[in-house]
Amino acid sequence: MEKILVLGGTGKTGRRVVRHLKAAGMPVSAASRTGGDVAFDLGRPETWARALDGAAAVYIVEPDLRPGLDRRARVPALVAEAVAAGARRLVLLSAHGVGEAGDDHPLKSAEQAVRESGVGWTLLRPDWFSQNFSEAFWRQGILAGTLALPTGDGRTPFVDAEDIAEVAAAALTDERHSGRIYYLTGPRAIAFGEAADLIGRATGRTIRHVDVDPEVFVERQVANGVPSDVARLLTGLLVNIRDGRGAAPSDGVEHALGRPPRRFEDYVAEAAAAGHWN
């Protein structure tokens, strides 16, 4: 068996992809700036060759979505080097809405490079991760008891990162996923207020969602050290949900894995039991 390289191998999806591959007995290498099996930094091309050496399949993540970043110098260049080094299968973690967006979407050039690579490819387009409530952006609000976001009563079908990772692991090891684009969501769309209520019940605490004016939200992020362009990008994505333009539930997980996606309620129960909101 030939090596599978997981970029961002210590991150939210990457570490889960590594775990699934190891459980299946596959030879996998976790690449990361720190803490992985091999050092890798997408912003430092001199780190690529050692990580790519011997990799027959590569899981690709673009960690920096800042507007204005030179996209041609990152994932497209990496894809070219990976194929030249012998990779025959590429799986890209993309995002919901890339296919409908204009050429200015930060992941558009990455998708194009993977699809035109000349080797087997799979695109994953997930909705907002359920784990954002317990491992990332919104955890502090949950811990504080107030989740203040410019989302109103808008709904979206949060997807469990475990489902994303399992689909990625399947795509990295099974040719039947080649040439496929998987839209990955949970089974139903829910509002942030309902998400807060579910987490509150699971933790025995009062947690409320408060709608925030988008400009106020941008100002708060900038005050907390988030670059202005990144703050506006994130705010715009959240306002899309507020305006009813959130993703619709899709059957991507079921098509890829032959089972329904995990429910948000199940994620909440597991995260609460694991102490993520203690």
Residues 118 and 199 in one domain: no
Q: Directed axis angle between helix 75-84 and helix 108-115, to 10°?
A: 20
Q: Is residue 38 situated within a structural domain?
A: yes
For residue 102, how far is the Cα from the chain centroid?
Answer: 20
Q: Is residue 176 situated within a structural domain?
A: no
pLDDT value of position 206? 96
Residues 79 and 137 in one domain: no
Residues 45 and 149 in one domain: no
Q: Which of 83, 107, 126 corresponds to the end of one domain? A: 126
For residue 111, how far is the Cα from the chain centroid?
Answer: 14
Q: Is residue 167 situated within a structural domain?
A: no
Residues 39 and 155 in one domain: no
Residues 18-36 pLDDT 10s: 999 999 999 999 999 999 9
Give the confidence band of 104 by pLDDT, cuts at 50, 70, 90.
low
Q: Which of 106, 126, 146 corresponds to the end of one domain? A: 126
Q: Is residue 80 situated within a structural domain?
A: yes
Residues 119 and 138 in one domain: no
Residues 143 and 117 in one domain: no
pLDDT value of position 177? 98
Under a CB-based contact definition with an 8 Å cutoff, are residues 151 and 92 in contact? no
Residues 143 and 271 in one domain: yes
Q: Which of 107, 126, 145 corresponds to the end of one domain? A: 126
As a whole number, mean pLDDT of residues 108-127 equals 96
Name the percent of the chain lying above pLDDT 90: 85
Show the domain range for 237: 128-159+185-247+263-277
pLDDT value of position 235? 94
As a whole number, mean pLDDT of residues 258-268 equals 98
Q: What is the CATH number of the domain that holds 122?
A: 3.40.50.720
- Cα gap 37→6, rounded to integer Å: 10
Q: Is residue 71 predicted with pLDDT exceeding 90?
A: no
Residues 141-184 pLDDT 10s: 999 999 999 999 999 999 999 999 999 999 999 999 999 999 99
Residues 155 and 222 in one domain: yes
pLDDT value of position 102? 60
As a whole number, mean pLDDT of residues 84-98 equals 95
Residues 26 and 41 in one domain: yes
Helix, strand, coil % over all residues of the chain, rounded to 5: 40, 20, 40
Q: Is residue 89 situated within a structural domain?
A: yes
Residues 148 and 202 in one domain: yes
Residues 154 and 272 in one domain: yes
- Cα gap 78→88, rounded to integer Å: 14
Residues 193 and 153 in one domain: yes
Q: Is residue 258 situated within a structural domain?
A: no
Q: How many structural domains is the chain composed of? A: 2
As a whole number, mean pLDDT of residues 247-261 equals 96
pLDDT value of position 64? 79
Residue 49: C-alpha distances to residues 27, 112, 114 (Å): 18, 22, 18
Q: What is the CATH number of the domain that holds 189?
A: 3.90.25.10
Q: Is residue 196 situated within a structural domain?
A: yes
Give the residue among 154, 152, 132 at the shortest CA–CA distance from 142.
132
Residues 211-232 pLDDT 10s: 999 999 999 999 999 889 889 9
Amino acid letter, residue 5: L
Question: Which stretches of the chain are DSSP H helices?
Answer: 14-23, 48-52, 75-84, 108-115, 139-144, 161-173, 192-203, 214-223, 228-242, 252-257, 264-273
As a whole number, mean pLDDT of residues 70-95 equals 93
